[in-house]
Amino acid sequence: MSWSDPILLPGTANPAFAASLAGELGIPIAERVVQRFPDGELGIELREAVSRRPVVVVQPTSPPVADNLLELLGLLDAARRAGAERVIAVVPYFGYARGDSRHGRREPILARVVADAIQAAGASHLITVDLHSPVVEGFLTIPSNDVDPVPVVCAALAPVAEDVVVVSPDLGRARTATRIGATLDRPVAVLHKRRLSGGDVEVQRVSGEVDGRSCLIVDDMISTGSTVVEAMRALEAAGARPAFVVAATHGVFTGGARAALTDARIREIVVTDTIAPDPGAWPPTRVVTIVPAVAAVVRETLGG
């Protein structure tokens, strides 16, 4: 092995994803120690030389977001200070992507803060999956790639997509829903919603024909499940059959999501493995891997 051979440096947020990515790329995993001291401070030590080697750091900023974000920054800084030739940050789930703008004069733009921190910590390239807002890429001065989940999601949904309407839960997801509908050859409907708070939404109307049809609700993430619950309520009121499939790229599943989504009307929930699956996830959840798609982008970035 030459000193230019790449090595993968995994965080602790999703070790299975990191191991799978290393296997897909055919590169070794760096030995490291990540520990948290009694007062909550983080300690990181690389146990392997990375000098003059490309380093692929893998760490989603999933819950607990602050802890995992700080660990990502620590891993990036450790690799940079250890003399890595370049540091590629693979952040399958980019937390704070929803904070891409201000709604008042006294609010931060946290997506910009996080983007700046990742660059300052030493990342020379950022790879994400299905950013909540593409505006985030505009906050970066380093190269970036956002992996498209649509081919993976459509392949997973093809067996259950007969006689369904693909539903976007809001206008922001309408373009992706349209692409999924075109791939699966299914009609598309769009919900017009208003966000009342971080965990509550209200659907004001349904655009599209759903009467007597089953629905496939697609989104970039499932957090508390409130959007899905409100979408099902609005769709049933519009005449949809109470048999729903829900698909999202990121299965965040925080708060009361399990209680909210343990619902007889939901036939299945499909998410990708950008976030480590909950080992106690309820039976309708199916996790599909997006690792090969991410690996293709990393391989291109490495020049292989």
Q: DSSP label at 29?
A: B
Q: Residue 50 CA to chain centroid, in angstroms?
A: 28
Tokens at 238, concatenated: 């519009």
Select which of 80, 173, 186, 193 is catalytic. Answer: 193
List phi, psi (to 5°) of 180: -65, -40
Nearest of 256, 258, 255, 252 to residue 284 by alpha carbon: 258
How big is the CA angle at 198 (ends 210 and 91), to the nearest 5 degrees?
90
With beta carbons less than 8 A apart as the criterion, state whether 190 and 177 touch: yes
The C-alpha atoms of residue 274 and residue 13 are separated, in whole angstroms, by 10
Distance separating alpha carbons of residues 189 and 191, to the nearest angstrom:
7
280 is a catalytic site residue: no
Decide: 270 and 153 in contact? Cβ < 8 Å.
yes
- Tokens 């999202």: give the residue: 248
Give the integer Cα–Cα distance in Å for 63 and 256: 14
SS3 247: strand
Cβ atoms 112, 138 nearer than 8 A: no
Name the nearest CA neighbour of 162 among 186, 179, 183, 133: 186
Q: Which residues are known catalytic residues?
A: 193
